[in-house]
A and B are shown apart, each in its own frame.
Chain A
Amino acid sequence: MANKVLMKGNEAIAEGAILAGCRHYFGYPITPQTEIAAYMAKKLPKIQGTFLQAESEVAAINMVIGAAAAGKRAMTSSSSPGFSLKSEGLSYLAGCDLPAVVVNVQRGGPGLGGIQPSQADYYHATKSTGHGDFHMLVLAPNSVQEMLDCAFDAFDLADKYRLTVAILSDGTLGQMMEPVDTATKESGHAIEKPWALTGTQGKRLPNLVNSLYLMPEELEATVIERYKRYALLSEKEVRCEEYFTKDADIVVVAYGITSRVAQNAIDIARKEGIKAGLLRPITLWPFPVKQLMDLAQKASVFIAAELSMGQMAGDVELAIRCQKPVLRCNRTGGMIITPEELLQKIREATTLHEQTE
C-alpha cells in the first residue's frame, strides 16, 4: 500500500499549511488558485479552524494581519491581480513585524491578463511588494511535493524571523497533480510569541502591534533592526538546487515550473555532448548570490529562463557581477517555454562558449 496521496499543487499548499498548524485562512476566489480556498473550506471547520471567504483580497490580507497579531498561524492566497491588491496589507504586515504566509499562484499579467501560468510577478514578490523598506522571504517550489514542504516550512520561517513568507507559484504547479508524501513533515512547532495580542489578564502591560512611528529616529531604528534580521536570514536561509553544474560550461538559471522544463532541456543537451547544468533558486529572496558567483568562476555562459520578459535575469547578472554573459529565454502572457526552445538557447550559448575558449 502506498504511503502517498495524489494531490493538486494548490491542495498540497493547503495541506502543508494545515500540517504546520495553520488554522486561520482568509481568501477570495481567483483562478488558478481557488483550490487552496476550497480545500481549506472543506478541512478547517473539521479541525476547529476558521475558513473565511472575505469580501475582497484587501479584506483577506487585513484579516491575516489581525490573526497574526493575535499570535495565530494565518494565511491568505491569491493569483496575480488579487495579489496586487494585497500589496498595502503586506507592507503593514512588515511594518508590524508580523509573521504570516501568503501564496501567489501566478497567472499572466499585467492587469487582468489571463488565467494561464506565468512568472511575471517576480519583481512584485522580490522587490516591489509594497511601500517602504522591507522584504518578504520568497519560496519558489517546483513540484507538488515541494508545494507542501514549502508551505509547511514557510510558517516556521515566518515565526523565526517575524516576517511574511511568500510562496511564489504559478498556474501550472497549482493545477498539476503529483503524488505527495504528507508524512515528510511532523506537525507544526509552536513558538512563543510574547509580543502577541492575547489579552493581559491584568498580569502584564498591554502589547502593541503597530506600524506608525511618531518620531523619525524611532522609525529608522526599527527599520535598521529589521534589516539585521534580513542580513541574518540572507546568510542562513538561502535555498537552491544544482543539477549537473559540476562541469557545466553553460548554466541555466530557472525556478518553479520552468526549472522542470530546464531539466528536460539539459538532459537532451547532455546527450548532444553539451556541458549544460541548472541552478534552481528555491528562495528567490534571498537570492542564491554566493552559489551563482561560485559557478561564474567555471561556467562561461548563463541563461536565465523564466515565464516573464526577463525579471530574474537582472538578479543573475548582479549576482555574478556581470562577469559572464547572461542570455535570456522568455515566454510570457501565459505561454510556457518548451524544452526545444530552451535547447535552442543552450546551443546558442555553446557557440558563445566556444568563442571564449
Chain B
Amino acid sequence: MRLARITVFAGHFGSGKTSLAISYAIYASKQRDKVILCDLDIINPYSRMAEAVDALKEKGIRLVTSCLSNTNVDAPALPAGTRALFDVPDTTGIIDVGGDNRGALALGRYASYLQNSADYEMLLVFNQFRPLTSSIGALLDMKNEIETASQISFTGLVNNSNLMEETKLADVVSSGNFALKASEKLALPLKMTVLERRLVPSQAHLEKILGDIFLLDLFKSPWKP
C-alpha cells in the first residue's frame, strides 16, 4: 500500500479515525524513520490517544497533541508542533482530524500548507454501521460538509466498517458493496478496507472483494472484559 508523505484521516465522529491513525502511524514507522502522529482532534476533549502513548513512544513515533488533551480544560487548542510536519520534508505525517465538519475546521488552519505539500492523501473514513453515515446520501453530505470546513478535497475513501469487539469478518465483507457504491457516487478511489488483525489469518483472498486491506491493532480500556 502506497504511503504518502502526509496522510490525513477525516470523517464522521466515531468512525474510528483515531484507532486507525495510531495503527497507521505504527505501520508507517516500519518503513520510515521520522514519523509524526498529529492529533488535531481538538473538538472532543476526551482524547482517545491516551491508551496508545507508550506503544507510540516505543516505536519512536513523535506524538503531537494538544497540551490540554486529557486535562479538564474544555477549550480547543491547536498543538504547536503541527507545523513540523509540513516544514520538515523528510518526515512522514499522519493527521487525525476531529469528527464531522466541526472537527475538520481545525484542519483549515493548515489547508494551504497541505495543498503546497507535493504528496498528501486526504482520506474520508467511514463506518457503515454508524447510524448517521449508513447511507450513501448521508456519506456524501458528510464529505461535502468536511471539505467546506477544511477547505481541502478528499483524495480517497477508507472503509472502516466495524462493530468493535463484536465485528465478524462477514460484517466487513458485507460492507464491501456499500464501499464500492460510495466510491462510485463520491467519485473517490477506495484506498483501503480496515480489518482488525484478529479477524484475518490470511487476507489474500479478501483483497478481491475489499481492495487493499489494512490490519488494525486496538488498545484495551479498563472497563472492557
Contact = CB atoms under 8 A, between A and B. Distances in A.
Contacts of B132: 39, 42
Nearest to B175: A1
B46 A257 contact: no
Interface of chain A, main secondary structure: mixed
Interface string A1-40: 1101111100100010000000000000001100100010
B90 interface: no
Given A1-B174, A32-B46, A179-B163, A172 B223 contact: yes
B72 A4 contact: no
Contacts of B163: 2, 4, 6, 179
Name which of B74, B162, B171 has the most chain A CB atoms within 10 A of its CB: B74
A245 interface: no
Interface string B38-52: 000000111000000
A146 to B, nearest CB: 13
Contacts of A141: none
B46 A5 contact: no
B223 A257 contact: yes
A139 to B, nearest CB: 19
Contact of B72 (A7, A113, A260, A264): A113
A115 interface: yes
B14 A31 contact: no
A260 B222 CA distance: 8
Interface stretch (B81-89, B123-131, B196-204, B209-217): B123-131
A174 B54 CA distance: 26
B131 A8 contact: no
B112 interface: no
B222 A336 contact: yes
A80 interface: no
Interface residues of B, number: 26
A338 interface: yes
Contacts of B45: 31-32, 115
Contacts of A32: 45-46
Given A115-B74, A116-B72, A171-B46, A2 B164 contact: no
A114 B75 CA distance: 12
B166 A4 contact: yes
A334 B2 CA distance: 42
Interface residues of A, number: 37
B104 to A, nearest CB: 15
B127 A2 contact: no
A177 B14 contact: yes
A6 B196 CA distance: 15
Contacts of B74: 31, 115
Contacts of B223: 172, 176, 257, 260-261, 264, 336
Given A1-B171, A115-B72, A260-B223, A178 B46 contact: no
B168 interface: yes
A176 B14 CA distance: 9
Given A115-B72, A177-B14, A336-B222, 12 more contacts: A2-B171, A4-B163, A6-B14, A6-B129, A15-B131, A35-B13, A42-B132, A114-B72, A175-B46, A260-B224, A264-B225, A334-B72
Interface of B: 13-14, 44-46, 72, 74, 127, 129-132, 134, 162-164, 166, 168, 170-171, 174, 221-225
26 contacts: A1-B171, A2-B168, A2-B171, A2-B174, A4-B166, A5-B131, A5-B134, A6-B127, A6-B129, A6-B130, A6-B162, A6-B163, A7-B14, A8-B14, A31-B45, A31-B46, A31-B74, A116-B72, A175-B44, A177-B14, A179-B163, A179-B166, A260-B224, A264-B225, A336-B223, A339-B222
Chain A to chain B: the 5 pairs with minimum beta-carbon distance, closest first:
A114-B72, A260-B223, A179-B163, A1-B174, A6-B129
